[in-house]
A and B are shown apart, each in its own frame.
Chain A
Amino acid sequence: MDDEDVEKALFAYLKKKGFWQTERALHEEQSRLSSAPQSETALSRSERGPALYHDGYSKLRSWAYGSLDLYKHELLRVLYPVFIHCFMDLVADGHMQEARAFFQTFREDHELMHLRDLQKLEGILSPSHLEDMDLARSLRHSKVSIKLCEYSYNLLLQYLQKAQSFTMLEVINEHINFEVSSVQPVSISDDSDVIALVGNSQDLAKQVNRKEVRWGQLLEDTVEERLEKTLSDSEKVEGENKDMDLDDNKKRSADVGKQVAASKKLKKDKVIGAVGKGVRSETSTVSLAPRVKPELTLPIMPSEVEQSILDDLRNRVQLSSLALPSVSFYTFINTHNGLNCASISSDGSLVAGGFSDSSLKVWDMSKIGQPAKTVSMQGENESSQNEIFLGSDEGKRSYTLFQGHSGPVYSSSFCPTGEFLLSSSADSTIRLWSTRLNANLVCYKGHNYPVWDIQFGPFGHYFVSASHDRTARIWSMERIQPLRIMAGHLSDVDCVQWHANCNYIATGSSDKTVRLWDVQTGESVRIFIGHRSMILSLAMSPDGRYMASGDEDGTIMMWDLSTGRCVSPLMGHNSCVWTLAFSGEGTVLASGSADGTVKLWDVTSSNKTTKMDDNKGSSGNRLRLLKAFPTKSTPVYTLQFSRRNLLFAAGAFSISG
C-alpha cells in the first residue's frame, strides 16, 4: 500500500515537473521488474516443476535439432542424459503422471540408440524404484562425461543462458561432465562413449584400461612351435610320427579309438592341408607377437596327445578369404524345444547337448556318424523307418545320458582332449563328467545362482564359470573350491572365454560390457564398452591380440585387447549371436546366430591395416563378411574349429523357428 502511495506521489511529481523521459524510463523499469519476479516464482518447482522440465527439454531438443549440422551430432549427445535425468528427477519428485507423459513424449528420439535402457527405465514408477534398480541407481550417482568441442560447448552454454532454462542447466550441471576439447567436432556420433551410459563404469573403464595387457602368446614352446621345428626335418620326423602313431594306436586302442576314428574323418581335409603347408611355414615366421610367461602352472600334456595335436596341426587347412573352411553341421532333431546348449569336442567326434530337463546327452559321432549318414542318404520315409528299426534293434539310445543336475543345463564344455566334459546348470552347480567312464566325477558348488556359462581353458585342467550372481570364477579340476572370484560386473555374467595364453579371461555381461580379468590377480584389466545389449558370446583370436564379442541384437564387435578399443563392429546378423569362433590361425571368424546362419568374416584385412596404422590410431575400415551359410530353420548354438580348421557347428532343428 505504501509502495503504491509513494509511486503515485512520485509519478505525480514527475508529471508536475515535466520529466517525461524519466517517467517513461521508470515505467519501463517497473514493468520489467514486475515480469521478472513472476518468472522467478515460476521457477519454484512445487508449482510448475514438471511443466518446466517438459518445456525446457523440448526447447533444448528443438534447439539441438535446429543447430548447425557441424555441431549437431555433438549437441544431440547431450539430449539423452538430460532426458533420462529429467525423467528420473520427475520421478524422484513424485510427479508420476508427468514423468510418464514426459517419457512417452520424447522416448522415440532415443529408442534407436538406447532401447534396452529405456525399457528398463520405463518401469520406474516410484521414487523407491530409483534406488531399487541398479541401472537407475548407478545413473543417479554418477556423472556422465560427454566430449564436446569448445565451440559447441559455448553454444550450449549460451543457449542455456539465453533461454533461461535453469532446470536444464541444473540437470546438466548435476549429471553431465563435459570434456571440452579444442579439436574439430566429431561428425558421426558412432562413438562408443555415447552409447554406454553405465554410470561410473565409464571413469572406471578409463582407469582400468590404462593397465598393461600382455596379450602375446606363451613364451614356452607351444605345440605349434614344436611343429615348426619338426617340419624343418620333416621327412624323417614324419616317418617317426607314423611309427609313433601306430604305437599309440596299439597302446590306447580301446579308449582313444573314437579319437582315431574322428581323426580319420578329418583325413578328408588332409589333401587341402598338404596344399596349405607351403603357406604355413611362411606365415608362422611372420608372427612376431610378444611372448609372455604363463602365470598359471599349466598341465603337462601327455605325449600321445601332443603327438596327435602335432599331427592335426601339420594337416591344418590354411584358411583365408579365398580358402573358406568346410562346415560340418550337427543338427539336433526332436529336441522338443528342450536343448539349451551344445558343445563339440575339438576333434568334432563328441557332441554334447544340455537340456532343460536337467539332462546332458553326449553323442559319439565317430560311432553313430556312419549309420546316421546312411539314414540321411535314403529317402525321407525310409529314414523314419530306419530310425525306429535302429532303436528297436539296438534297444538303447544313440547317446550317453548324463544325469545329475537338478535344473536346466545351460552350458557345457569339453576339455581339449575330449576326455572330460563340464556342465553348468540352473541348480548353481558345475559338474565334471568323464567321457570314458561315462560317469560324473566331481560336483563343484560355489555359485549361488544359475551358472550361465562354463569354459575349459585352452590346456584343460582349469576352467572358468559365469553366473547370475554377477561373478565369474576360476576353478581347477582338482579342487572343489574356486581359485579366483572375479566380481565387478553390474549384472549377470553371461559368457566367459579364456585368453589364448591362459593369463586372462574375458567375461561378457548383461550390463553390456565385456571385461578382461587377470587370472593371477583376479582384477579387471580391461572394460570394453560399446555393445548396446546383453553380450552372448565371446571369442579370442589365437594370437591373443583380438577379441570378438557378439550380442543380443546381432552385432559382433572386434576389440583390440591392448588398446581396449573396438576395431570394427560387424553388422550382419539380425538376431542373437549365440556363438563365435576363430579359425586355427586366426584369419577367419565364424559366427552363429539365432537367425539360422553361420557367417564367416575376414579378420585379416583389419589386422593388417591396424598393424600398419597403429600409430595413426585410425581403424575406420570394416571387416568383411566373407560368406553366409543359411541353415534350414536351425539356429546355430555352437561353433568349433577343429585343429585342422574344419568348422563344426551345431544347432537344434526347430520347425517354428
Chain B
Amino acid sequence: MEGKVSWHHRYPIAAGFVQPKEEGSLLLPSWANITAVLFTVKKTTIAHPTKGELKICLYFGVWMRIEPNLAAGHKVEHLALCPLSVSSNSSSPTSPAIPNAESCESRVGKAGSPSLENMSIVPKETIEVIAQSIGIANLSSDVALALAPDVEYRLREIMQEAIKCMRHSKRTVLTADDVDSALSLRNVEPLYGFATGDPLRFKRAVGHKDLFYIDDKDLDFKDVQLHLIEAPLPKAPLDTAVVTHWLAIEGVQPAIPENVPVDVILPPLESRKLEHGKDDGLPVDIRLPVKHVLSRELQLYFDKITELTISKSESALFKEALASLSTDSGLHPLVPYFSYFIADEVSRSLNDLSILFALMRVARSLLRNPHIHIEPYLHQLMPSMITCIVAKRLGNRLADNHWELRDFSANLVASVCRRYGHVYHNLQSRLTKTLLHAFLDPSKALTQHYGAIRGLAALGPSVVRLLILPNLETYLQLLEPEMLLEKQKNEMKRKEAWHVYGALLGAAGKCLYDRLKMFPGLLSRPNRFTWKHKGRIATTMPNGNKRKSVASNHHSTQQPPLKKLAGDGSVNSMPVMPAMSNAQSVADGFGNNALTDPGIRPSTSTGRLSSNESIPGGSRREMGNSRAPKTHSILSQAWKEDLDAGYLLASLFELFGEAIFSFIQPVEMSVFL
C-alpha cells in the first residue's frame, strides 16, 4: 500500500461495497464483500434507478458524503455506513498502532462468506481492527460481535442527526461539518482532519479495484518554506455579495441572463450576457433605458458577422458563423440589425452574386435559429428574399450562376411559408401573387420567369397544379421559340429559355410525381427485376430508338448540356428517385446526367455551351410543339377532371416529351406507355 502513514492518519479507514439494489433506494453495504480494511476510503458510484447517479464516499470515522452527479439537489436517500472510529488520543503520532495492510486483508479475506452470526453492517472484524488500532490487542470475538450491531445503531443515529443539521443548513449534500455538528449534539468530540469545504480527493490504490485513499503528501520542511511561506499569498476568496434581479414580472419571467434561459441548454457563447431590457413585452414598471443598448460582445459579434458576409463568404469561418447564427440563443437583440443589414445589402449589391448568396445564407441561419423570435422581422426579410428569386439581374458577370441563388432563395421562402404560414395567413397568398405576377407577365425577362417558377414550385405540388399547370401550355408556346436555335439567335437568351424549360419540367414533374404517389401499388413495388426489364422494353420503343440514334450520332456531346440544364431543376428538387435515374440510365443515352452533382454541373454545362453552336434536339421539340394544339382539348379536359394522373401524364408527355418520364417509376411508365 503506497499511502504513506502520515501523522493524522490515526484513524483507520474502512472500505467496502455499496451495492445498488435492483430498485428502490440503495442497499446498505454488505460487509461480506469487504476487500480490505485499510487506511482507505471507499468512493463508489451507484446507479440509482430513479435519481440518477450518486457518488458515495465512505470514510472511516463517521463521515460520509453523497455527491450528486447532477446539479439538481438530490435527496440523501440513505445512510451509507462505515465503521465507527474509536478515536484514540493515546496512540502516539510517531507510532500509529495500525495493522499493516496484508494482515488486514488476509483477515477480512477469511470472513469472505456472510457469516450467519453477524448480520450487522459492521462486521466484527472491523471492531477487532479498531481495537487493535487503539492498542487493545486481544479483544475477544464475542465482545466484538456484541459491539458490532451497537456500533451500527449509533452510527445510524449520528447520521440521522447529521442529516437534520444538513437540512437546517439548507443543503442537500451532506458534509463533514454536518457530521461534526451531529457529534457535538451528542456531546461527542468531533472528528478532526476532515473539516474542509472542498470535497476530498481520493486516489485509487494500485492493484486494488475498490481501494481508495486520500492522497496526503508528506512535505519537506524546506519545500514548505520555499513554496508556502515565501510564495505570495493566494487570492482571497471573493466576499459574499447579494445581487438582485427580477425572477418574474407580473408572472412572466424576463429573459435576462440571471434567469434560466427558456428551455435552452446554456450555449457556450458568452454573448448571451445581455443587459436587462432586451426582452419583448417588458412591462413598463422597470426603469430601464428605453433605447436599445447592445452589449459590446454583441456589437463585436455583429460586426464580425457582417464583415464575414461581405468579404469572406467563402471562408470556413463564415460557415462557423452561420452555424453560430443558427444555434445561439442570445442573438435575439441582433435580429433587427441583421434583418436591416440583409435588406440593405441586398438592395445595394444586386450585382454581386457572392454577397447575395452569403446574405441569403445568413437569412437562412437566422430563420433556422429556434431561439430567435423572428416573426416581427419577416416583413423586412421577405422582400429581399423575393428579390433574390425574381430579380431581373443578379450578379454582373455572364458566368455568375444566379440560377443557384434563385433556387436557394426559393427554397428559403418556401420554408418561411411553411413555418410561419399559419401565423400570417396572407403570407403565402401574397407571395404566390407576386410570383405568379412575375410568371405570367410576358414582358418580364426569362430569368424572372425562372425565379417565379422555382418559387412556386418550391411551395409545393398543389401550388404548381393550381397556378402553373393551367398556364403551362400557353407559356410553353411562348417559350418554345426562345429555345430554338433558328428562332433565337442570342445564345444567352436561349440558355435562359432552356433553364426556364427545365424549371417548368421540374415543377410539372414534381406535381406529376405527387399525383402518382396516390397510386401506392405502383410506387411501392420495389421489384428490381421487373423494372429493369421494363426499362429495357422502353429502350426498344420507337422514340427510344430515336433517342438512341440521336445520342449515338456526332452531336451526342453537344446535346446533353441543354438537357442537363433542363434536368437541372428536376434534380435539385427531386432527389427522391434514385431508382428512377438508375432506370433511366438504362433507358436513354443521357440518363446518367441526372446523377451528376448539381454543384459542378452548371459550370461545365455553361462552359460547354459556349463552345457549342448547334442544338440538334430541336427537331424533336418541334414535333412536340406541333402536336400540342391537337392535344389541347384532351389537356383541358384532363385538368377539368381534376387531373387524373393518367391524363396528366399523357398531357405532360405531350408537352415535355420523354423528359417527363424521369419523374415516374419505370413500372408505371411501362403501364402508361
Q: A369-B244, A576-B172, A578-B170 are in contact. List 8 more A-B contacts (CB 8 A).
A: A330-B243, A336-B197, A341-B170, A365-B242, A397-B239, A574-B72, A575-B73, A632-B260
Count A/B pairs, Cβ under 8 Å: 228
**Of B226-234, B268-276, B533-541, B651-659, which binds chain A?**
B268-276
- The contact string, 1 if C-beta is below 8 Å from chain B, for chain A 106-126, is 011001000100011011111
> How far is A596 from B84 in the complex, measured between Cα atoms in Å?
35
Asked whether A271 is an interface residue with its Cβ less than 8 Å from the other chain, the reply is yes
8 A-B pairs whose Cβ atoms sit less than 8 Å apart in the complex: A269-B285, A324-B250, A327-B249, A399-B240, A450-B168, A452-B168, A576-B170, A656-B71
Chain B residues in 8 Å Cβ range of A325: 248, 250-251
| 8 A-B pairs closest in CB distance | A324-B251, A125-B149, A123-B156, A657-B71, A327-B247, A329-B247, A268-B285, A334-B238
Stretch at the interface among A18-26, A281-289, A302-310, A372-380: A372-380
Q: How far is the CA of A538 from the CA of B150 in the complex (A)?
A: 36
Which of these, B79, B247, B295, contacts A119 with CB under 8 Å? B79
* Interface membership of A353, Cβ < 8 A: yes
Q: In the complex, how many angstroms separate the beta carbon of A310 from the nearest chain B beta carbon?
A: 22
**Nearest CB in chain A to that of B169: its residue:** A340
Q: How many residues of A contact B (CB 8 A)?
A: 101
Interface residue B245 (Cβ < 8 Å from any Cβ of A): yes
Of chain A, the residue at the smallest CB distance from B297 is: A379
CB-based contact B248/A629 at 8 Å? yes
| B78, B173, B250, B251, most chain A CB atoms within 10 A | B251
B152 at the A interface (CB under 8 A):
yes
The answer to whether A379 touches B295, judged by C-beta atoms less than 8 angstroms apart, is yes
Task: Say if the beta carbon of B75 comes within 8 Å of chain A.
Answer: yes
Q: Is the CB of B260 within 8 A of A630?
A: yes
**In the complex, A180 Cα to B233 Cα: how many Å?**
75
B residues near A230, Cβ cutoff 8 Å: none
Chain B count of residues within 8 A CB distance of the other chain: 69
| B153 beta carbon closer than 8 Å to chain A | yes
Knowing A111-B24, A376-B245, the reply to whether A124 touches B167 (Cβ < 8 A) is no
Closest residue of chain A to B253, judged by CB? A629
The residues of A with any CB-CB pair to B shorter than 8 Å are 96-97, 100-101, 107-108, 111, 115, 119-120, 122-126, 129, 132, 268-269, 271-272, 323-341, 351, 353, 355-356, 361, 363, 365, 368-369, 372-373, 375-380, 387, 391, 397-399, 407-408, 410, 426, 449-450, 452, 468, 492, 494, 510, 534, 536, 552-553, 574-576, 578, 594-596, 598, 600, 626-627, 629-633, 635, 637, 647, 649-650, 652, 656-657
Interface string of B154-179 (1 = CB under 8 A from A): 00110010001101111111010100
B173 cross-chain contacts in A, Cβ below 8 A: 656
**Distance (Å) between the CB of B111 and the closest chain A CB?**
16
- A492: contacting residue among B71, B164, B260, CB under 8 A: B164
**B interface residues (Cβ-Cβ under 8 A, vs A):** 23-25, 28, 68, 70-75, 78-79, 116-117, 119-120, 149-150, 152-153, 156-157, 160, 164-165, 167-173, 175, 177, 181, 185, 197, 237-253, 258-260, 270, 273, 275-276, 284-287, 295-297
Write the nearest CB–CB distance from B405 to chain A, whole angstroms: 38
A639 to chain B, nearest CB (A): 11
Interface residues of B, dominant DSSP: loop
Output the nearest chain A residue to B149 by Cβ-Cβ distance: A125
Tell me the minimal C-beta distance from B590 to chain A in angstroms. Answer: 60
Question: A372 contacts which chain B residues (CB < 8 A)?
Answer: 241-244
**Could you tell me the distance in whole angstroms from the C-beta of B389 to the nearest C-beta in chain A?**
40
Are A326's CB and B250's CB within 8 A? yes
Known contacts: A494-B168, A635-B73. The answer to whether A126 contacts B153 by CB under 8 A is: yes
Chain B's closest residue to A368 (CB) is B242
Closest A residue by C-beta to B116? A97
Residues of B within 8 A of A536 (CB): 167
Measured between alpha carbons, how far is A578 from B172 in the docked complex, in Å?
11
- Which residues of the partner chain B approach A378 to less than 8 Å between Cβ atoms? 275, 295
Question: How far apart are the CA atoms of A549 and B237 in the complex, in Å?
Answer: 37
Which residues of the partner chain A approach B171 to less than 8 Å between Cβ atoms?
337
Q: Which of B185, B244, B285, B286 contacts A449 (CB 8 A)?
A: B185
Q: Are B153 and A375 in contact (CB under 8 A)?
A: no
Complex alpha-carbon distance, A387 and B238, angstroms? 10
Name the distance in Å between A113's Cβ and chain B's nearest Cβ. 13
Judging by beta carbons under 8 Å apart, are B167 and A327 in contact?
A: no
- Judge whether A108 and B242 touch: CB under 8 Å: no
User: Do B244 and A373 touch (CB < 8 A)?
Assistant: yes
Inter-chain CA distance A272–B258, complex, in Å, is 25
In contact, B153 and A123 (Cβ under 8 angstroms): yes
Find out whether the CB atom of A649 lies under 8 angstroms from the CB atom of B247: yes
B290 to chain A, nearest CB (A): 14
Cα-based distance from A351 to B149 in the complex (angstroms): 47
Residues from chain B with Cβ under 8 Å of A391 in the complex: 239
Please give the distance in Å from B185's CB to the nearest CB on chain A.
7
The answer for the CA separation of A413 and B512 in the assembled complex, in Å, is 77
Bound complex: CA of A545 vs CA of B420, how far in Å?
51
Instruction: Given A108-B23, A635-B170, check contact A272 B240 (CB 8 Å).
Output: no
